Chains A and B, each alone.
Chain A
Amino acid sequence: MGTDGRALRRFLRNPSAWLGLLVMAGVLLMAATAGLFYPGDPQGMVAKPYLWPGQDPAFPLGTDNFGRDVTAGVFHGARVSLWIGVVSAAICLTIGTLVGAIGGYFGGWTDDLLTRLTEAVQTMPSFLFLIVLVAIFQPTLATITLGIGLVSWPTVARLVRAEFRRLRGQDFVLAARSLGFPHWRIIFQEILPNALPPLIVTTSVIVASAILTESALAFLGLGDPNVLSWGMMIGNGRAVIRTAWYLSAVPGALIVLTVLAVNLLGEALNDAANPRLGN
């Protein structure tokens, strides 16, 4: 369609989009090559502790209080952040879309019930709720990923529900109904594609907040102890913040860069979709 082509061109003309894509490509490259450049356990002790960044060319980002290579750590940590950003967001979008679509499409008591459930989950402070879930069901990467998806879907559900309520009375839906299409087909093939555009922008917010949430959990020591992540590295560096602040600064700067890139992409998508709001 012509409008999509124009939106894509607007997106590609936006410098924020390029900056976001560039940083994301960098993080992706780190995650992809972590096993290649640093095949061993990133938690292994490989050198003298407290090497500052630049002090030894073999360890460009230095070593920590146990002599672990910070560069190897941040490469492996990129994997966790990307995993969380993609999988948690996918879980969140799936649950939110299903709940919102079913409620918005069918209306009536189904909608009432689902709306109450959405409101209840949204009312519980999500980070606290996540901590409770992780504390009860043991902190592994799988439970954390699932947990982040489970506490963050209400935003998506509300958005999708509103779109479905707006669209379900329109002519193309009535046409599909009168042709005798089954409900699931009307929901997923007719209405959902039209409800997606506002969801695309929200996705960037969800990915960004999933990455931030995981890092906070790992920082508090509530992450998966067997998986090295950026948040965990900051948590480890915290004890020596006065003497070796680079141990916290480096992985934190990577989190900021990654989340910033996701947000820049989201902004660029938003500007491309709604060109009038930008100016």
Chain B
Amino acid sequence: MSLRLLPVFVRALVRSLPTVVIIVVFNFFLLNMAPGDAADVLAAESGAATAETMAATRARLGLDLPLLDQFLNYVSGLAHLDLGFSAKFGVPVLEVILGRLPNTLLLMVTALVFALLVGIGAGFLMALRAGSLLDRAISVIALFFYSIPSFWGALMLIVIFSVQLGWLPSSGYQTIGFEGSGLELALDMARYLVLPALSLSLFFIAIYARLTRASMLEVYGQDYVRTAVAKGLPPGRIALRHVLRNALVPVTTVAGIHFGILLGGAIVTETVFAWPGLGSLALQAVLARDFAVLLGILLLSSVLVIVINIATDLLHAWLDPRVEVS
């Protein structure tokens, strides 16, 4: 990281502090609203409890303290990466979440990369041939993708590719009892990844196609592009090196919000495909009424969004030297 980026980083960090505070307060509030507390969880664990032992447990855990003291305990717990204890899984919440995080990230990153490649490609073609039949055809397809509920897209993909054609597996993340390692294992897992990633990416293909098209048409109207045309540069070179590169900046500004939407999509997609990630964990937590896990996922994913937003700020400052310290 160059020295120029340091102030940008510090500013982004300071800017996100109030957001973190509000989200933590919110989480504490919701956790208190939820029925049952940690003492109930421990009582359920041990299988038996009397009113006296419950009261003793509450006193030991600080649950009988005033709300403000409980909040301070909660915050100090968070500072020590303590998100509470999972009633359903019998281990600390953080452990449960971190166990599932890699699977979700794999699914989301695959879907995102695929959506970016296809979406930007489609948007590039649309902008290049704006107003043509091709432009209209792609925009109709994009609008269609934009209107499909991801879970329904997932089910229809299963009907076509698993049930009718029998090409791809419809649930799980690897063949049960699969013997093999390295490339073989990766290929086996890839087969399970195709359908979930594809159904998750449809919506984002539509978004990126439209964003890229609009953004490129805007850049085409700028003076430096006119200069490039006047210099007699080949149109393909102008489109790729001058227009597309600069048109991609707005596409990245919404990365943080897209991560949130992507995670929402992952919850339903993972459930459809029995993909063992954060999304299916969230649903399991709801059904088991394990609010510590559920709110832990909400808190951690919000923090991830903040991290992505800071990373985007840094990326912009790096790409565009005009972003200076104000």
- What is A's interface to B at a CB cutoff of 8 Å? 116-117, 119-120, 122-129, 131-133, 135-137, 208, 212, 215-216, 219-220, 222, 231, 234, 238, 241-242, 245, 248-249, 252, 255-256, 259-260, 263-264, 267, 277, 279
Contact = CB atoms under 8 A, between A and B. Distances in A.
B23 A219 contact: no
B148 A132 contact: no
Interface of B: 18-19, 22-23, 26, 30, 33-35, 130-131, 143-144, 146-152, 155-156, 158-159, 163, 214, 217, 256-257, 259-261, 263-265, 267-268, 271-272, 282-283, 286, 289, 291, 294-295, 297-298, 301-302, 305-306, 309
Given A128-B282, A132-B295, A220-B268, A123 B19 contact: yes
Contacts, number: 141
Contacts of B214: 277
A124 B289 contact: no
A201 to B, nearest CB: 13
B19 A220 contact: no
Contacts of B265: 127
Interface centre among B34, B149, B158, B214 (most CB of A within 10 A): B149
A82 B45 CA distance: 44
Nearest to B290: A135
Nearest to B295: A132
Interface centre among A137, A238, A279 (most CB of B within 10 A): A238
B263 A128 contact: yes
Given A135-B291, A249-B156, A252-B155, A127 B263 contact: yes
Contacts of A234: 149, 151-152, 155
Given A132-B30, A216-B268, A256 B260 contact: no
Given A249-B156, A252-B149, A256-B144, A125 B19 contact: no
Contacts of A120: 18-19, 22-23, 26
Contacts of B257: 122
Contacts of B259: 125
A126 B298 CA distance: 9
B23 A123 contact: yes
Contact of A125 (B35, B263, B294, B309): B263
B159 A264 contact: no
Given A125-B260, A252-B155, A216 B298 contact: no
A259 B260 CA distance: 21
